[in-house]
Amino acid sequence: MVLQDVEIGPEEIGDYWKPEKVGDKIEGNIYKFKEDYFNGKKQVRIELYLGTDENDESIMTLLPSHAHLKRYYVNLKRGDFIVVTVTDIIQPKEDNGYPRYRYKVQVDPDKKVVWPEEETDDDYYAE
């Protein structure tokens, strides 16, 4: 019997993309810049459209709110197709600290999309 190697499939992406090592990357179109809260602090994250699943449902994820990544936001727009790659992970000096992530962000203007106007969360409907 001859054993054959099996290639690893794509990483399953959940509600939040959690890179683990240098070289991890994600790509998709910016659906919106979303405000949320982490540890009681208001922050802005990118909600990224990754495509559709077998049921034609949109696959979305939120990018981390790492300080280095957020510095790119000023130069990004809704609909941009971006590739985000982890370039470095700096380990904390204290045992109770968190690692700092460094990123490279690239834009492919040929894959930019125009989304319909954003939906609102308003419960009010004019009569």
Total number of domains constituting the chain: 1
Asked if residue 72 belongs to a domain, the reply is yes
Q: For residue 10, what pLDDT is reported? A: 55
Asked if residue 97 belongs to a domain, the reply is yes
Structural domain boundaries, residue 35: 25-111
Asked if residue 15 belongs to a domain, the reply is no
Write the CATH number for 80: 2.40.50
Asked if residue 65 belongs to a domain, the reply is yes
Check pLDDT > 90 for residue 28.
yes
Q: Are 45 and 64 spatial neighbours (Cβ–Cβ below 8 Å)? A: yes
Name the E strands within 2-97: 25-38, 41-52, 58-62, 81-90
Decide: pTM greater than 0.85: no
What digits encode the pLDDT tens for the residues 46-105? 999 999 888 888 899 999 989 999 999 999 999 999 999 999 999 988 877 889 999 999
